[in-house]
C-alpha cells in the first residue's frame, strides 16, 4: 500500500470574468466568497472538504467540458426554484443529448460551463451536500489513480464507471464516467489542486504521484500555470497542480 501524502485542496476553474462567475456559483452552492489578487475562492459552508478557486484565463469554449458539477435538491419545488433562480442570474438551458423523460435539468452557467440540477430521490447522491458530485469524463484507471492518490475509497466501481468520496463518508462524490470519452476540443477549464498532507513534503507528494502513474508536465500546452505549484499530467492525460508554495 502506497502511503498517502496528498490532499485535495481545490478545484480551479478558469473564467473570463472571475468575480462574476464566482458570484454565480456562490449563489448556486450557497457557499461564501473571498477575493484576492484577481481570483475568487468559494469556501464551503457545509461538510465539503475542498474549495473552488475561480481564476482568470479561460480559453474559448469549443466543446463540452470534461468536468461539470451536479447540484442536489430535496424536492421538485426546490429543483424548479433552483433552475429559475440560476436562469435569472445568467444561466441558460442547454441540450447535451439528455432525454426529455429525464428528471434532472441541464444548464450552462454564464460562461457556458455545463451543470446539472439533480431531482430529489437520486439514490447515488443521497446524503451528499448541495454540490452532490464533481462529474468527470475519464477512465476507470483514472478513478483508481485518484482513489490511491488521495486515500479516498472507491464508493462505485462497476461497468468502467468509478466514484470516490472522502474517507469519513461525507461531502461530494467525484465520479468518472468511463468510455467512450469525449474528444478533447481545447484546454479544460477545470483542474484539480492538490497539496502535501500535513507532515509530508512536496518531494514526498511528488514521488507518491509519480509512483501512481502521473507525469510531470513538460510543455506549455500541458495545462495551466498556477503560481506556487508544480504541474502534472494524470493517467488520462489531464493536467493537475501540486501546490508547493
Least confident of 41-55, 95-109, 112-126, 165-179: 95-109
CA–CA dist 229, 221 (Å, integer): 16
Judge whether 161 and 177 are in contact, CB under 8 Å.
yes
Within a domain: 197: yes
At 207 the pLDDT is 97
- The number of folded domains in the chain is 1
Question: Residue 112: pLDDT above 90?
Answer: yes
CA–CA dist 54, 23 (Å, integer): 10
At 100 the pLDDT is 74
Confidence grade of residue 157 (pLDDT, cut at 50, 70, 90): very high
At 216 the pLDDT is 95
Question: Residue 142: pLDDT above 90?
Answer: yes
CATH number at residue 235: 3.10.180.10
What's the pLDDT tens digit per position in 15-63?
A: 999 999 999 999 999 999 999 888 999 999 999 999 999 999 888 888 8
Structural domain harbouring 209: 6-243
Strands 32-36 and 39-43, sheet pairing? antiparallel
Judge whether 118 and 28 are in contact, CB under 8 Å.
no
Within a domain: 1: no
Within a domain: 207: yes
Within a domain: 190: yes
Mean per-residue pLDDT over the chain, rounded: 94
Question: Residue 1: pLDDT above 70?
Answer: no
What's the pLDDT tens digit per position in 198-214?
A: 999 999 999 999 999 99
At 102 the pLDDT is 79
Sheet of 114-117, strand order: 92-93, 105-108, 114-117, 67-71, 131-136, 173-176, 161-165, 154-158
At 159 the pLDDT is 95
Mean pLDDT of 97-121: 90
| Confidence (pTM) | 0.94
Least confident of 1-5, 42-46, 76-80: 1-5
Question: Residue 2: pLDDT above 70?
Answer: no
Judge whether 39 and 54 are in contact, CB under 8 Å.
yes
Question: Residue 188: pLDDT above 60?
Answer: yes
The set of cell numbers assigned to 126 is 443521497
At 37 the pLDDT is 84
Amino acid at each position: 500500500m502506497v502511503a498517502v501524502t496528498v490532499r485535495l485542496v481545490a478545484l480551479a476553474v478558469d473564467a473570463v470574468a472571475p468575480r462574476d462567475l464566482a458570484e454565480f456559483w456562490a449563489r448556486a452552492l450557497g457557499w461564501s466568497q473571498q477575493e484576492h489578487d484577481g481570483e475568487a475562492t468559494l469556501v464551503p459552508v457545509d461538510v465539503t472538504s475542498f474549495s473552488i478557486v475561480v481564476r482568470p484565463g479561460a480559453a474559448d469554449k469549443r466543446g463540452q467540458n470534461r468536468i461539470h458539477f451536479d447540484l442536489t435538491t430535496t424536492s421538485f419545488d426546490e429543483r424548479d426554484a433552483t433552475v429559475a433562480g440560476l436562469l435569472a442570474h445568467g444561466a441558460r438551458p442547454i441540450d447535451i443529448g439528455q432525454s426529455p423523460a429525464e428528471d434532472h435539468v441541464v444548464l450552462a452557467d454564464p460562461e457556458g460551463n455545463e451543470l446539472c440540477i439533480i431531482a430529489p430521490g437520486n439514490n447515488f447522491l443521497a446524503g451528499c451536500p448541495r454540490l452532490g458530485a464533481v462529474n468527470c469524463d475519464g477512465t476507470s484507471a483514472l478513478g483508481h489513480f485518484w482513489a490511491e492518490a488521495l486515500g479516498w475509497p472507491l464508493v462505485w466501481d462497476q461497468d468502467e464507471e468509478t466514484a470516490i468520496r472522502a474517507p469519513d463518508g461525507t461531502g461530494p462524490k467525484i465520479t468518472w464516467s468511463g468510455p467512450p470519452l469525449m474528444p478533447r476540443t481545447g484546454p479544460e477549464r477545470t483542474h484539480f489542486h492538490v497539496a502535501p498532507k500535513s507532515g509530508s513534503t512536496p518531494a514526498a507528494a511528488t514521488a507518491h504521484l509519480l509512483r501512481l502513474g502521473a507525469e510531470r508536465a513538460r510543455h506549455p500546452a500541458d495545462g495551466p500555470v498556477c503560481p506556487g505549484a508544480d504541474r502534472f499530467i494524470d493517467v488520462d492525460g489531464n493536467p493537475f497542480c501540486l501546490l508547493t508554495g
